Chain A
């Protein structure tokens, strides 16, 4: 059920196939190439297809690490700090991640010490039209993969594979 008063729609949605390592590589390469870098050059440097790069770029922009204007990509102040940090980079993004779906909803459902499954997150988000796949099973599995990857790296949540449940870290 969607709780009354819940803001709709939520604009920030993490692309289903983007992982932290890709964002880290993007930031490192962008920083290494100078102030402003053309997106097609970035794709070339990263050895990634432009279609793949664009989703990584979306995620990096959503996380406040890069700015993209007319195909030119540059690092933000946070991006510069992120580039220089050697360890636990994703933890720097804790607050940013907490505002992005599906992490936002998972954290909300897991508040007050409750454990939550990817299925429950999927159900709530589907009700407000946020889906990564039209098939419920695949949607749930994409949400689960996103939650495991980003919330553990970001020190937002803990996950127990034996129960399939997430809890706030």
Chain B
């Protein structure tokens, strides 16, 4: 188990992004990318971050994951500041990021390679369980190149889940899939992540697809153009499962679009 698991307090935010700014520097002047961005993600919440293309959504996600450093501000998991990659945070990428020379099982095992507390047999057991949970039982010995896009993303999710993460960061996870595959996978992944039996406590997902956000998210954080700041935060209290054809659904879609424009 991750060492900070016991620090998580039900009711208080799992992730706190507090006044995060980021400037890139070139020879002439600083280039502001993120400007004073704050957000929180609570227990069993799926928080969607959206904004115009190139505004810095993915950069923010990388900062939350400890993969990039902010110029100012902090990111905390419970009360512990994120200063680099941590075992309780995991990320699912848009383009799957699978090693093509490794089978599905080997790709999931690769995600566990830094876990010194697990034996080889325990790692294998975890990897097989994650593949089973993501509907890939039987596909252990198949290479990524032999899988469809949706199945590749399932391997990506299995690799992330196998590490017992508490915070799942997803960067446009469904955007490279066809509509039918994405539609189905969204429902499955949501049910897999937000339930009492998983280690995942909160999910932060970057997406440019407003309908996807209204379908999945408990909260939408809308960013402006670069330098990105929060222009709106909406708590989406539509009952689940959400009917994409309902007038209420479209009302929420409109609310997000109005913030985006």
Contacts and interface: CB of A to CB of B under 8 A. Distances in A.
Nearest to B211: A47
A148 B142 contact: yes
Nearest to B146: A148
A48 B141 CA distance: 31
A144 B180 contact: no
Given A152-B138, A153-B138, A155-B138, A161 B183 contact: no
A22 B181 contact: yes
A47 B180 contact: yes
Given A21-B150, A148-B146, A159 B180 contact: no
A160 interface: yes
A159 B142 contact: yes
A24 B184 contact: yes
A19 interface: yes
B138 A158 contact: yes
B184 A25 contact: yes
A56 B146 CA distance: 21
Interface in A5-42: 19, 21-22, 24-25
A161 B140 CA distance: 9
Contacts of B93: none
A47 B146 CA distance: 26
Interface residues of B, number: 17
Contact of A159 (B141, B181, B184): B141
A148 B139 CA distance: 8
Contacts of B151: 149
A144 B146 contact: yes
Contacts, number: 52
Given A19-B148, A24-B184, A162 B179 contact: no
B180 A161 contact: no
A50 interface: no
Contacts of B103: 161-162
A25 to B, nearest CB: 5
A144 B185 CA distance: 23
A62 interface: no
A153 B134 CA distance: 12
Interface string B60-86: 000000000000000000000000000
Contacts of A48: 179-180
Contact of A161 (B141, B150, B179): B141
Nearest to B188: A21
B180 A21 contact: yes
B136 to A, nearest CB: 9
A162 B146 contact: no
A147 to B, nearest CB: 10
B138 A25 contact: no
Contacts of B147: 148
B249 interface: no
A100 interface: no
22 contacts: A19-B148, A19-B181, A21-B150, A21-B180, A21-B181, A21-B185, A22-B181, A25-B184, A46-B180, A47-B180, A48-B179, A48-B180, A144-B146, A145-B148, A148-B142, A152-B142, A153-B138, A155-B138, A160-B141, A161-B103, A161-B141, A162-B103
Interface of A: 19, 21-22, 24-25, 46-48, 52, 56, 144-145, 148-149, 152-153, 155, 158-162, 169
